Structure 1
Amino acid sequence: MPKKRFSKKYEVHYYEINSMQEATLLSLLNYLEDCAISHSASAGYGVNELMAADSGWVLNRWSIKIDRLPKLGETINVETWASSFERFYGYREFLVTDGSDKIILKASSVWIYFNIKKRRPMRIPAEMGDAYGIDEERALEQPFTDLDFDFEPDILEEFSVKRSDIDTNNHVNNKKYIDWIMETIPQEIYDNFKAASLQIIYKKEASLGSVIKSGCIIDREHNESPRLFHKIWDKNTGVELASAETIWNKI
């Protein structure tokens, strides 16, 4: 029987922190993605094996709850497992614990098994589920939400897709969208609040040379824990690429 859960330790380095010496949200996502890649490699489906089969995993959505951010020099443990494979959807869970084994972050995610050459989903092979082993426990019990909302941004930023943004699937890596979102967070929120949750849905690919617009609106009814809505779209085509929600708690 395969080992269903996989874990890996990470130390928070100086280049991964913010001005309060805490790991950034982007750094946390790097840990989660790296752990998922390592888990896949241990199951025999690493990057090279997937590329040889013209396949890969494309992130469809995140749901993340953050109790606290780890600090500079702290060592954390990331645990991940596959909770379900359905047609071309893979459901992956994450728990992050500190040195006292206290859970500081929970995350659920959905990935699409993807044919890189044809640029379309492909059915997950039955033997892949056997290799990973399925643990049906969810890290987060709350269902994913639609993130379907009207949008007239309070804050709008524009970005160009660079070579460094492209990953092995030949499109913009999912973490870059978080970068674009964070650049639209109002400074007074960024300075006085900490990210408590993130939900994001990835809808379309972005590619090299695209010009991206990232917009943000603020729910003014939640002053103690601001709730922000985000959309990212292609400036030239108007196609929506992603939508997201972040919630922030007072420092």
Structure 2
Amino acid sequence: MTEKRTFSIEMEVPYYFVNFTGDMRLSALVDAMLLTSEKQLHQADIDSSEMVKNNGLGWVVVQYHMDIDKMPRLGQKIKVTTQATSYNKYFFYRDFWIDDEEGNRMVSATSAFVLIDIKQRKIVSAADRLDDLFGAVETTKLKRFNRIKVPDDFDFQQQQHIGYYNIDVNKHVNNSYYFDWMVDTLDIDFIGSHQLTSMDIKYDKELNIKSQPIAYAKLDNTNNKSIHWIKNGDVLNVVAQFNWKNK
């Protein structure tokens, strides 16, 4: 059996990765994880830039589940690790985790990626296109992520602007921007007094430079959770659930 290979990077959380409380922003947390996977993919020349240039293909994340025991802080030294776990005809599953200097687990996440044809905007089989799968095992099973229902009403809504700086090499809005837009719908006092404990997100439809997205949020104070979704007109682009605890 092929051994599943891990890849890690160590970093000190810079000031531009944190919010006004000194906690690492969720979008920066995701960026750090994706940077780690990109570094591993680069070893096999199948990172995002190489795939676009050589094959006209792009990696796109479609779902995340994340558990957060403690959010990394400004100046803290952390170790970000990733491991490709399994794949089927279309989905490529990858785990991430973040440890502090003492090896304590701070964050763990699992994700599902697909490969898309950039020109046709269609999913292609990762198993058929990749020579190096980093020890990931083939499976016929689909990994089950939490299902999130879009509420019938909302507490907050906010129009978002898409600029050229939001568009990545896959020719769509980079997925990490969605997190900033969703968190930005919440009151600053709420962000200052709460810590994220878990997150689920499902991307349904990509956004591009011509899109005019609106971010919505529904708070459930009884259960300390918030539901977030982004729509472009009548089209649902993404839905997420954040679970919180008081600081």
Q: In the alignment, which residue of structure 1 is the partner of 2:194?
A: 193
Letter in 1 for 2:241: E
State the aligned residue count: 241
Q: In the alignment, which residue of structure 1 is the partner of 2:241?
A: 245
Q: In the alignment, which residue of structure 2 is the partner of 1:23?
A: 24
Q: In the alignment, which residue of structure 1 is the partner of 2:58?
A: 56
**Deviating more after overlay: 23-32 vs 199-208:** 23-32
Please tell me whether the aligned partners of residues 157 and 215 of structure 2 are also in contact (alpha carbons under 8 angstroms). yes
Deviation string 1:63-108 (CA, Å, 9 cap, x unpaired) is 1111111122111111101111111211110011000001000000
Please tell me whether the aligned partners of residues 63 and 107 of structure 1 are also in contact (alpha carbons under 8 angstroms). yes
Please tell me whether the aligned partners of residues 85 and 129 of structure 1 are also in contact (alpha carbons under 8 angstroms). no
Q: In the alignment, which residue of structure 1 is the partner of 2:69?
A: 67
Supply the distance in 2 between the matched residues of 1:126 and 1:111 (Cα, whole angstroms): 15
Alignment of 1:117-196 (within 5 A): 117-126=119-128, 128=130, 130-134=132-136, 143-196=144-197
Please tell me whether the aligned partners of residues 44 and 131 of structure 1 are also in contact (alpha carbons under 8 angstroms). no
Please tell me whether the aligned partners of residues 64 and 202 of structure 2 are also in contact (alpha carbons under 8 angstroms). yes
Deviation string 1:39-85 (CA, Å, 9 cap, x unpaired) is 11113312333111011111101111111111221111111011111
Supply the distance in 1 between the matched residues of 2:211 and 2:129 (Cα, whole angstroms): 37
Cα deviation for residue 188 of structure 1 reads 3.1
Name the TM-score, length of structure 2 as normaliser: 0.92
Supply the distance in 2 between the matched residues of 1:116 and 1:79 (Cα, whole angstroms): 28
Letter in 1 for 2:229: K
In structure 2, list runs of 5 or more residues that go unmatched. none
Letter in 2 for 1:124: A
Cα deviation for residue 241 of structure 1 reads 0.3
Letter in 2 for 1:36: S
Letter in 2 for 1:26: S
Deviation string 1:136-170 (CA, Å, 9 cap, x unpaired) is 9xxxxx94111123331101100121110000000
Supply the distance in 2 between the matched residues of 1:129 and 1:200 (Cα, whole angstroms): 29
Q: In the alignment, which residue of structure 2 is the partner of 1:139?
A: none
Cα deviation for residue 21 of structure 1 reads 1.8
Share of identical aligned residues, percent? 26
Deviation string 1:175-199 (CA, Å, 9 cap, x unpaired) is 0111110111133321210111111
Deviation string 1:98-119 (CA, Å, 9 cap, x unpaired) is 0000100000011111111110
Q: In the alignment, which residue of structure 1 is the partner of 2:213?
A: 212
Supply the distance in 2 between the matched residues of 1:120 and 1:147 (Cα, whole angstroms): 24
